Amino acid sequence: MVFTTHIFLFYFLPAVLLIYYSLPFKWRNLFLTLASYIFYGWWEPWFVILMMISTVLDFFCGKLISAPGASRRRRLAGLLIAICGDMGLLAFFKYYTFTAENLNRLLQTLGADLLPVLQITLPIGISFYTFESMSYTIDVYRGIVKPARSFSDLSCFISLFPHLVAGPIVRYNVIAEQLVSREHSWDKFSTGVALFIVGFAKKILLANPMGSAADAVFATQSPYFLDAWFGVIAYAFQIYFDFSGYSDMAVGLSRMFGLVIPKNFASPYRAESITDFWRRWHISLSTWLRDYLYVPLGGNRHNLRRTYFNLALVMLLGGLWHGASWTFVIWGAYHGTLLAFERWFGKRTLYAWLPYSGRVAVTFVLVLISWVLFRSSSFPQALSYLHSMFGGASGGRAGLLLAAEIYTPYSLAILALCTFLSFQRLEVYDWVEGLNWGRSVVLVPLFVLAVMAMFTQTFNPFLYFQF
């Protein structure tokens, strides 16, 4: 099920809220779990079974690790079983086909037998809930959190539908106490509704129109350089408002049920460096990679060469987390190289001497180059597109047709609005926290407009569903 459908908006969400607030508190977590399983299994019921396997595995491994008097060997065994089980499921469903295809290319050169290439359906959200369930077991091992009181609590945490399929990646220590006791207030509920409406409008009114423009340009072979820049900027706004819109809705929905989870974005396109960008973009993933990969690898506690290696490796794995494709691997390597270079340069950039607006502009261009890798279906296509961006293509007759399609008053107006919203100081969360009757009045027509636009658009799921 998707947030931006009439089934969710007018049937599922009202029914779940009504039943939830009609129940005594002791039954609410169980009901949220059942509702989340229905939400997740709406398209493919067997996806629920896979998620339950992961939940059962981490629940019992958590008990094994935290058992009174458990030896260090037993605790380590519980941790390894959980990590291998979680990563094994993720690796099979997400990376088996990619690995088999690349190994077959190598085996062909050696004249060896080929591996079977299976067409495996990727379960939606598996990258997100796998990281959440795995972080639970790791934190229990580290002594950061106590094991879940019951299987019901852990399953509620992992399956919670607001953030289940596309984040933020929530850690158990953030939500553990709230599962036991949480406040339900009008202020929390109203700010949750406001966040949901803003996120919904981001997706429908901004991300989807920009996505249409980006798709048109990326589908064109060798676009004219102005068209290529327009296309990648449109994609930058599409992925930002699509993903941050989902995150806003996830945080807002959680607040409606009395749960507070962290925000996932902090005006990333206002970043002054790539290091700053990763403090602002997909915060839950970047902090997860830092705490569960970068720090265990040694972080910056060793020599500089080891620090650069750790940065590059973590971002390489972060790129692979996004998808089983060489473009994602190269995208991660690109960001890892830039992060390592900034660390080598004293946590500064070569353009640190520029005024603030100049630093932001250069960082934005560096990010745009990375989005070409992220959006392209293959590395040759990415190289061809970058060639067009830097004046290597004339566009020709196809360019004239493309220009007529993308440079419409509507597209230009949406692009201008996206630019203004991306680079202005006030964040959505600041605006919502200062919610009053005046701002509430603005939300009503915004929601109505977004719903009307939703019914005119073709089905357009969130980009991060595929990751």
Per-residue H/E/C for the chain: CCCCCHHHHHHHHHHHHHHHHHCCHHHHHHHHHHHHHHHHCCCCCHHHHHHHHHHHHHHHHHHHHHCCCCCHHHHHHHHHHHHHHHHHHHHHHHHHHHHHHHHHHHHHHHCCCCCCCCCCCCCCCHHHHHHHHHHHHHHHHHCCCCCCCCHHHHHHHHHCHHHCCCCCCCCHHHHHHHHHCCCCCHHHHHHHHHHHHHHHHHHHHHHHHHHHHHHHHHCCCCCCHHHHHHHHHHHHHHHHHHHHHHHHHHHHHHHHCCCCCCCCCCCHHHCCCHHHHHHHCCHHHHHHHHHHHHCCCCCCCCCHHHHHHHHHHHHHHHHHHHCCCHHHHHHHHHHHHHHHHHHHCCCCCCCCCCCHHHHHHHHHHHHHHHHHHHHCCCHHHHHHHHHHHCCCCCCHHHHHHHHHHHCCHHHHHHHHHHHHHHHCCCCHHHHHHCCCHHHHHHHHHHHHHHHHHHHHCCCCCCHHHHC
Shared domain for 163 and 213, answered yes or no, is no
Domain match, 210 and 106 both: no
**Same domain, yes or no, for 143 and 244?**
no
**pLDDT score, position 171:** 92
- 387 catalytic residue (yes or no): no
Q: Pick the catalytic residue: 184, 282, 302, 322? A: 322
Q: Is the peptide bond before 24 cis (omega within 30 degrees of 0)?
A: no
At residue 433, the pLDDT reads 81
pTM here?
Answer: 0.92
Do residues 173 and 85 share a domain? yes
Which of 144, 161, 182 marks a domain boundary?
Answer: 182
**Helices 409-423 + 225-256 axis angle, to 10:** 60
Euclidean distance between CA atoms 270 and 353, whole angstroms: 17
Average pLDDT over the chain reads 89
Check whether 399 has a pLDDT greater than 70. Answer: no
Question: Is 395's pLDDT higher than 60?
Answer: no
**447 inside domain:** yes
Report the C-alpha gap between 242 and 214 in whole angstroms: 13
The answer to whether residue 424 sits within a structural domain is yes
Q: Is residue 168 a contact partner of residue 264, using CB atoms and an 8 Å limit?
A: yes
Choosing from 182, 213, 243, the residue where a domain stops is: 182
Among 161-170, 184-193, 330-339, 411-420, the minimum mean pLDDT is found in 161-170
Q: 391 falls in which pLDDT band (50, 70, 90)?
A: confident
212 in a structural domain = yes
**Same-domain check for residues 249 and 368:** yes
User: Last residue of a domain, which of 129, 156, 182?
Assistant: 182
Does a structural domain hold residue 336? no
Percentage of the chain modeled with pLDDT above 70: 97
Place of tokens 């340009």: 217
Q: Are residues 356 and 412 in the same domain?
A: yes
Whether the pLDDT of residue 458 is over 80: the answer is no
The pLDDT, as a whole number, for residue 459 is: 66
CA–CA separation, 370 and 348 (whole Å): 20
Same domain, 18 and 45: yes
Q: Which amino acid is at 408?
A: T
Give the pLDDT confidence score for residue 451 in this predicted structure. 92
**398 belongs to a structural domain:** yes
154 and 259 in one domain? Answer: no
Q: Are residues 146 and 201 in the same domain?
A: no
The residue range of the domain holding 434 is 188-272+349-466
Tens digit of each residue's pLDDT (9 = 90 or more) over 22-59? 999 889 999 999 999 999 988 788 889 999 999 999 99
Whether residue 117 is predicted with pLDDT greater than 80 in this model: the reply is no
Number of domains in the chain: 2
Q: Is residue 400 part of a domain?
A: yes
What is the predicted pLDDT for the residue at 52?
Answer: 93
Residue-level pLDDT at 200: 95
174 and 30 both lie in a single domain: yes
pLDDT band at 235 (very low <50, low <70, confident <90, very high): very high
